[in-house]
Structure 1
Amino acid sequence: MRPLFKLLMLFGMTAYLIFAFFTFITREDTAQCRNLNIVIADSAQATLITGKDVDLMLRKTGLYPIGKCMKDVDLVQMQQKLQSDPFIREAICMKTPGENVNVFVVQRLPLLRIMADNGDDYYVDGKGFPMAARGYEADLPVVTGQVTNDFVKKRLIALGELLSQDDFWNNQVMQIHVQPNQDIDLVLRVGNALVHLGKAENFDRKLCNLRAFYEKVLPNVGWNRYQAISVAYENQVIGIKQHP
């Protein structure tokens, strides 16, 4: 009896699985999408792309899933469309039980904002990828002056990375100004002194010397004692005093 019972159980389970499979397929063919869930990664760090932006993008391109049969929801097209936006680094779209479509978006995190003398106005991420400024604001160092896209990628990305990875400089540096000879000046939040970095090289050493000056000298003589501070030369910090 036991072998026969096991055989009947196996037959019953197989029949049930076949029935459930075809029921699911049939339901997916006819069931309509009920919910669209959008998650934006790193939204606390930057808001250059929002859930409303993603929603609107899908509506404008006819890819909005709610109300469509689940079988007609094209996840590949949704991902490709979203990833064509310069502010989106990656998009993952998936269907889940309950007639849900979930969209997970990884946004590009801007490193610097470029506002050059030639009229260029855009953000750039850590890989040098440009993103047009379009009404959103990010609290980042602003690069001004005689700056080109090539100079940003080859020289300023390294400086931006150093600033962003150090809490002290990340909070201090407001502006990076590029002079016509490509020397670099910094405008800081604390004090009135313009900081002259000089050539776009040896940023780590120059910032280390500048920080030592800020921590050991300025607290003793006053934050507004100097109108300019230069760390352009090796192992030197030169302060130019304010005029009386």
Structure 2
Amino acid sequence: MTINFNWKQILIVACNVIVGIYLVLAVTAFNNPDEAMAEQCTEVKIDIEQESMEGFLNPGEVKKLLSQYKLYPLSQPMNTISPRKMEETLLKSPFVEKVECYKTLSGHVCINIKQRIPVIRIMAINGDSYYLDHHGNIMPESGYATDILIATGNITKRYAQNVLSKVANKIVSNSFWRNQAVQLNVLPNQTLEMVPRVGDHIAFLGSPNNIDTKLERLRKFYIYGLNKAGWNKYNYINVEFNNQIICKKNNRQI
């Protein structure tokens, strides 16, 4: 008795069985992701978004903060790691603006952070000392030193957040003034003085209005005036009024 096999049909059936088994395993893995994951976290990847200005956060600080709450995931079982709890904890830091945490099937935990960037340090005459970010939010003092614009004088927190943060943003967003402006001083009547990095003088900006126009007028005076007359010729330069600059000569000039 001769048995004839339909090899084509057998091959089709075998392929269908293999595909069926694959689909069952895939659906099972999808519905039970923890079982498909590595058993333990083997690596923590911390990515802190870089800005034009230096911030306060580094991977060591992130690890320290998570460890305080026993949430640092390295060597922990993957099915016990909660990215949401990690995000909620990191957002408690005044230096974190946004954060995203997630797990990978290869046993890695990824932490992506956008940090708050300080634009000005407030050192008020009443003893207040803190930083402001570019949104005007208050950031506490940090032991981390950074080269940043400083504001001194008669400063309330309301004035700092509503006025100085806007002035600081205009300064740090301009490459010329970001390098030239060192300090703002708030006088009792809430007008502003600026101390430059180069030149033996103080620039009086007046009220914190039309700052863009005043800074541009002063920049042109630096380029076309002081470059020729000498950077130490004047000790006080007033750009408060439109279309004019009032200068007081430096009597100490040699």
Shared fold, TM over 0.5: yes
- Alpha-carbon deviations, 1:165-222, whole Å to 9, x = none? 2111110000000011101000001111111001111101111111111111111211
TM-aligned CA deviation for residue 26 of structure 1: 2.6
Amino acid in the other structure paired with 2:191: D
Q: 1:201 and 1:47 mapped to 2: Cα distance? A: 28
In the other structure, the counterpart of 1:64 is 72
Matched, 1:154 2:162: yes
- Alpha-carbon deviations, 1:21-72, whole Å to 9, x = none? 54664353x7011111111111673130110000011111011112221011
TM-aligned CA deviation for residue 151 of structure 1: 0.9
Alignment of 1:208-227 (within 5 A): 208-227=216-235
Amino acid in the other structure paired with 2:35: T
Distance 1:10 1:31, change over 3 A: same
Task: Report sequence identity in percent.
Answer: 32
Alignment of 1:67-106 (within 5 A): 67-106=75-114
Task: Report if the CA contact (8 A) 2:55-2:116 is conserved.
Answer: no
In the other structure, the counterpart of 1:13 is 19
Amino acid in the other structure paired with 1:142: I
Gaps of 5+ in 2: 1-5
Q: 2:51 and 2:64 mapped to 1: Cα distance? A: 18
Q: Secondary structure at the match of 1:217?
A: helix
Q: 1:60 and 1:189 mapped to 2: Cα distance? A: 41
| Correspondence for 1:229 among 237, 240, 249 | 237
In the other structure, the counterpart of 1:26 is 35
Distance 1:92 1:200, change over 3 A: same
Q: Secondary structure at the match of 2:48?
A: strand
Gaps of 5+ in 1: none
Matched positions, count: 243
Alignment of 1:176-191 (within 5 A): 176-191=184-199
| Correspondence for 2:176 among 135, 143, 168 | 168
Amino acid in the other structure paired with 2:140: A
Task: Report if the CA contact (8 A) 2:96-2:114 is conserved.
Answer: yes
Amino acid in the other structure paired with 2:114: V
Q: Secondary structure at the match of 1:216?
A: helix
Distance 1:25 1:234, change over 3 A: closer
Distance 1:149 1:134, change over 3 A: same
Amino acid in the other structure paired with 2:180: Q
* TM-score in terms of structure 2 length: 0.89
In the other structure, the counterpart of 1:207 is 215
Task: Report if the CA contact (8 A) 2:34-2:79 is conserved.
Answer: no
RMSD of aligned residue pairs (Cα, Å):
1.9
